A and B are shown apart, each in its own frame.
Chain A
Amino acid sequence: MDAQSTFDSVVKAIDTTALIGAPIQWLLGIAAVALAAAAILPPLRRWLGHILVATSALLLAGELVLVWFHWRIYESAVVVNPQTGQVTGHIAVPLWIESEKLYVWAVVVAVMALAMRRHRNELLPGVALLLAGLVAGATVWGRPFTEPLPSFFGQYGSYLTGMASGVPAMSMTAYEGMEGARQFFYNTWYMWVHPPLLFVSYGAFTVSFVATLQMVKSRYSAYETTAYRWARLGYTPLTAGMLLGFPWAILAWQGESWWWSGKVNMSIMMWLLYTAYLHARLYLRRRGMWRLVALVAILSFLVLLLTYLATYVIPGAHSYA
């Protein structure tokens, strides 16, 4: 492997993505403002459906650009054993890490907003407002097209520098670090299953949260049913995603008390609260029970937001992703 040609190839993929993606990023920023305005201001409400379709189309176009980008990275970014000169493998960077997390959440919510049929007129403004927040966060904070995957490129850049140094010890250290990350993080099956399941559940819980707020506001029981339907849609992938993390955590964090790490803690709390919500809901016909159910549902979603933010705030294995 020639470190310089690999570097050039990776830089070319980054530049091309920025060239195509920067206008999409700008347009998404404008779409976020338009979505929020149409959700808040009643005179603009009739345009909400069209703006939602346009935003979703932009998000999906951007996602296609990101898929292409990841494919280019996969082709270019290889890891080579400096002792044998053999390529040990390509790096398959998952599509839902680092700067792309909020973007994926926004895509999921956009698709769900488009698929939403029941109570569309009543729930759409709330869902659109949250989607506007996600899109704004993805474009202003995440910037997946113009500043993609900073941790990965930092790590891979260090690896290439080590390999190009010509010092055997440095090359070996660089190789061991990168190969470990390739095998146990980027390319592991778990990273390709666990996060997308969680983002599907986050999307469904977002719609459920809006329906719960609508129920509290209007005291109309049909919204409670809608909130429950979206919550049960979110609960299954949430449970699956968290369960699938268990054997991986036991292997990857062998000997560590990983269950008390900040992010795991918050995730467990979120799952416990949604489980409590589904249990409490069985007794909805009891006098005043709907208040408790609504309270637990709202609390669960707030904890979901905190769980997401915990990745950035609390250092640990999850903050790497």
Chain B
Amino acid sequence: MHEVEAMERSALRRNWDFGLALATVILLGSLGIQSFLGALYVWWAQRSNPAWEQLGYSDFVSRMNAIAAPQIVLLVVVMGLCVPKRLFSRKVLVAVSGAMLAVGLAVWLATASLATGLTVYLALAGLIQVAVVALTVAGTRAPSYITEGRLTKTGSGLLHLGFIVFGLVVVAMQDSAFMLPVFWTATVLMLGGTVLSFYADRFAVRHPVAKGGE
């Protein structure tokens, strides 16, 4: 009975992981297609009207921002949902994800500012991700990953923490005096995390097995 439950939980987690990864790929692809179409449009508009940059560029930017905004919001939401999956079981996972969304939504409605709602949502995701990284570094069994190896997992954790911090820079800190230091922190986390998750096997210290099987 316990085995069946464990298998079901494992299958559900894989499906949840796959669903989130698929949603990420679709959103990234969709933003990519928008970027491509935008670039084509700029090329066409500048060829057909040399004064387009003065006359039509600001309209173009507003339209592109309006189309991209819901996709970026969804991407941020998906990124936030990727965080608690490392830590919680099925029921808690649903509850935590729901609570994060609810708090973000409530702040958005209360302040009438989507950026503030997203900032709070990302800050919550960031806090959970810090816990995930700390538990991963400590080597506890709690955080679950698709990848294997503590260093690879730590790299993945740092990389995603970097993305969350970078998300905070874009959403909330573009006019802040702290923008640059926070940005550099995000850059170090992302690049360090990328290198660690790609090349963990090169950094791993292998302990020789003592004779006698100890």
Cβ contacts B155-182/A at 8 Å (1 or 0 each): 0000000000000000000100001100
A272-B32 in contact (CB<8A): yes
Q: Does A225 contact B (CB under 8 A)?
A: no
Interchain pairs with CB closer than 8 A, number: 91
Q: Are B194 and A247 within 8 A (Cβ)?
A: no
Q: Count of A residues near B, CB < 8 Å?
A: 36
Interface centre among B31, B32, B180 (most CB of A within 10 A): B32
Q: Which residues of B contact A (CB under 8 A)?
A: 18, 21, 24-25, 28-29, 31-33, 35-36, 38-39, 42-43, 46, 58, 60-61, 64-65, 146-147, 174, 179-180, 183, 187, 190-191, 194-195, 198
Known contacts A257-B65, A279-B24: A265-B38 contact under CB 8 Å: yes
In the complex, 24 of the A-B residue pairs with CB atoms within 8 angstroms, ordered by the A residue number, are A235-B194, A239-B191, A240-B187, A247-B183, A250-B179, A257-B58, A257-B61, A260-B38, A260-B65, A261-B42, A265-B36, A265-B42, A266-B35, A268-B35, A269-B31, A269-B35, A272-B31, A282-B21, A282-B147, A283-B18, A296-B25, A303-B36, A306-B36, A314-B46
Cβ distance B159 to chain A, nearest Cβ, rounded Å: 10
CB distance from B125 to the nearest CB of A (A): 18
Q: Hey, which chain A residues are within 8 Å of B43, CB to CB?
A: 262, 313-314
Q: Which residues of A contact B (CB under 8 A)?
A: 232, 235-236, 239-240, 243-244, 246-247, 250, 257, 260-263, 265-266, 268-269, 272-273, 275-276, 279-280, 282-283, 286, 296, 303, 306, 310, 313-316
State A183–B58 Cα separation when bound (angstroms). 28
CB distance from B44 to the nearest CB of A (A): 10
| CB-nearest residue of chain B to A268 | B35
**Distance (Å) between the CB of B154 and the closest chain A CB?**
16
Question: A residues within 8 A CB of B146?
Answer: 282
- By the criterion CB–CB under 8 Å, are A262 and B39 in contact? yes
A27 to chain B minimum Cβ distance, whole angstroms, is: 36
Min CB gap A278→B, angstroms: 9
- Complex interface: chain B residues within 8 A of A276 (CB): 24-25, 28-29, 32
Residues of A contacting B190 in the complex (Cβ-Cβ under 8 angstroms): 239, 243
**A263 vs B38: C-alpha distance when bound (angstroms):** 10
Residue of B nearest to A270 (CB): B32
Instruction: Give A203 Cβ to nearest chain B Cβ, in Å.
Output: 17
Q: Which residues of A contact B174 (CB under 8 A)?
A: 250
Q: Which of A235, A246, A266, A279 contacts B183 (CB 8 A)?
A: A246
